[in-house]
Structures are given as C-alpha cells and as structure tokens.
Amino acid sequence: MATSAALMQSQISTLQQVNEAMSMRRKRKRKVFQSDVSLSVAEVEAIEEQEQIEAQIRGEMRRLKRRSPTCSSCKQQGHTIRTCRNKE
Ligand SMILES: [Zn+2]
C-alpha cells in the first residue's frame, strides 16, 4: 500500500521529538542516581515517566491519524475518498 510521504514525515518528526524528550529524561534520571535519592524512588519515577511517554506516543499517533487522513483516490492528505473533490 502506498503511504503518503508527508504523513510518514510528520510521524517521524513526532518520534524524534519523543526521543529527544526521552534522552533528556534519561539525563535527569542519571542525576537522580548520582545524588542520595533512594533507588526505589528513582525506579518509581522512571516507570511513571515511561508510562507517560508511552501514553504520549499513543496519543500523538491517534491524533495524527485523525487529523491527516489520506485520500485513497488522489493520494492527497486532509480528506478521504468520500469527500474527494478530484473524484468524478
Ligand atoms: Zn482526494
């Protein structure tokens, strides 16, 4: 199946943003380990952050799909074949 390059690019940029956020959070987590905060607190924080990130990814993907439908008739984004103006 042909997938719109623009749609793929927007998904990739979203993933890049999430990756940046994750690497920033990893740096912060390392700082926590270096200080005298107990392991259990850091572990709980890490799990909570991971759950937040996963929920964020799911939410972003759902939003992208809903906002950017791709027409299966003319392959343009923003509308579906039902509302296609290029269709006779
Ligand atoms: Zn169309």
The full set of domain ranges for the chain reads: 5-83
Q: How far away, in angstroms, is 74 Cα from ligand 1 center? A: 4
Query: pLDDT (tens digit, 0 to 9) for every residue of the chain, 88 residues total?
Result: 556 788 778 887 888 888 888 777 666 555 555 555 566 888 889 999 999 999 999 998 888 776 678 899 999 988 889 999 987 6
Contact 35, 46 (CB under 8 A): no
Q: How far away, in angstroms, is 83 Cα from ligand 1 center? A: 7
Q: How far away, in angstroms, is 14 Cα from ligand 1 center? A: 25
Angstrom distance (rounded) from CA 14 to CA 58? 11
Question: Does the predicted model carry a pTM greater than 0.95?
Answer: no
Contact 70, 61 (CB under 8 A): no
Q: How far away, in angstroms, is 70 Cα from ligand 1 center? A: 8
